[in-house]
Structures are given as structure tokens and as C-alpha cells.
Amino acid sequence: MDTQKVTVSDIRNAKNNRKLTMLTAYDYPLASLIDRAGIDMILVGDSVANVVLGLESTTQVGMHEMLHHAKAASRAVKNALVIGDMPYESYQVNPHESVKNAQRFIDEAKCDAVKLEWFDQCLEVTKEIIKAGISVMGHIGLTPQTADKLGGFKVQGKDAEAAQRLIKQALDLEKLGCFSLVLECVPDKIAEIITKKLKIPTIGIGAGAGCDGQVLVSYDMLGLFERFTPRFVKKYVNLSEQILNAVKTYKQEVVSGAFPAKEHTFSIKEEELEKLKGEKNG
């Protein structure tokens, strides 16, 4: 039985009431399965760069790729809140284009909200997008699009000064009107402090159990991405191994002649075949 479509208000109201769930999806089949499982939010993440497109950095995908994948995922979703992950070029390279680009996720890709990673002009860009009537999810801590400025893919907020910066960023984003906030690779105690200070939900990824919800990259938790597995990922299944074995079996059966069998084959009535032979002979 279908449930009601999840709204931004539902996400806000979950604070202190229940834990929230979010996973990434980049295409119709996976988004459909995640939605049917009852996950609250589906993030069309720029992680598509790494786990689907084989690129080294999330900065290598742009609006063209992100809208393409967001449209596919949105078509599948009946219940979850769909969030478009704004790519690096869409708001960091040229902040003046950010509102227009955010609007494209809503109008063209039918997303319900967008997500922005923290960067130097984050507050002014977030303010303009929210002013345009678009719901924004913030993202602080490890921000992959600017990881080079943070000393690489490392835990953030490990000393008092850095932790204080994260707390301020979180409070500033809440004040501007963000409806939720992703905390990535943040010490669990710092994530707890931020979660308690905010009236909006925090969604953790490598930020401990004290957050209001959790997010993982679906290809990581499904065992579909083998190049690298972050420490904070739990693999719930190893689909890579299952798919590899299935493909090997397919190859063996084709080579041996076992596939296609009779049940996979279409037939023609013998009399029609005889007619054809007669016509050919004639």
C-alpha cells in the first residue's frame, strides 16, 4: 500500500521523534527499490562521479550529468523526498548562477530540494536559493568537492577550534532556513553537540549514532563499488560478487549451448514452416 509523499515538513518534524533514513540513487531501478523499501529521502548524489561514471573526483560532474541522473531517479519515486546534489560547477565556480541551477533541479528533474556543500560563499548562495523558494539541505564537515582545501579526505572538527567552526556553520545554515544538515566525517561527540543545538535534523555519514538520521552511498552499502570502501560504510550485501558469478554462469551456458533453452525460445507452427519451405522451393 502506498504511503503519503514525504515532504520537507515531515523531515523537519521527525526531529526528536524518529530516526531518518537517506540513500543515494542515480537511476530508475535503484530509486524504485529504495523508495519501495520506505527510505525517507533519496539523494541523487554527485557521488555518481565515482561510483557510476568511474571518475576520480565529484568535481568532474556538472549540471548535464546531474540533471540526467536526477530525472531518471525522480521518475521512479512515489513517496521519498528527492534531493538533487548540486555539482561543484553549479554554485561554487559561479555563485551567480546558483539560483538558476537550483531551479533546474526542481523544474526539469522534478526534485523536491537541493543539497549544497559548505564552501567560502556558502551562506550567501544558500540565502539566495532559499529566498527563491527552494528547499535546501546543508552539508558540513568533510565536503568532497573541496576536500583538497581540507587536507584531503579526513575527519573534520577533531580539535576544539575546528569543532567550533562546524558548530557555527551549522547554526548559520539553520538560521538561513535549511531544512536539514548532512554531517560528514565528524567525531561522534561533536556531531551530538551540533544535533542537540539545532532545531533541524542532522543526517550523519561517518558522524556516529547521535545524529537524527543516517545516509550512505547505496553502491557502497550494496557492495557495488569496489575501488574504495570508507570506514564508516557497512556492506549489507556484496552484489559485486553475485553479479560477477551470474555473468560467469551466463558465459558458460552460452558457450556450452545450455542457454537459451526451449523455455527461452519462440516457436513457429510446423505447417507454417512447411509453407515457407514450399515457397522457397517454388
Distance CA 9, CA 14 (A): 9
For 76-111, give one letter per residue: b (16+ CB within 10 A) or e.
bbeebbbbbbbbbbbbbeebeebbebbebbbeebeb
Distance CA 75, CA 27 (A): 9
Q: Tell whether omega for the bond before 260 is within 30 degrees of 0, i.e. cis.
A: yes
**Number of helices and strands in the chain (H, E):** 12, 8
- Residue 210 to residues 71, 200, 248, Cα–Cα distance (Å): 33, 14, 43
Q: How many CB atoms lie within 10 A of CB 70?
A: 30
Q: How many CB atoms lie within 10 A of CB 147?
A: 18
**Residue 24 phi/psi, 5° resolution?**
-90, 150
**All three cell numbers of 50:** 565515482
What is the DSSP pairing of strand 113-115 with strand 136-141?
A: parallel
Residue keyed to cell 561510483? 51
What is the DSSP-derived secondary structure letter of residue 38?
A: T
Contact 8, 179 (CB under 8 A): yes
Active-site residues, by number, are 184
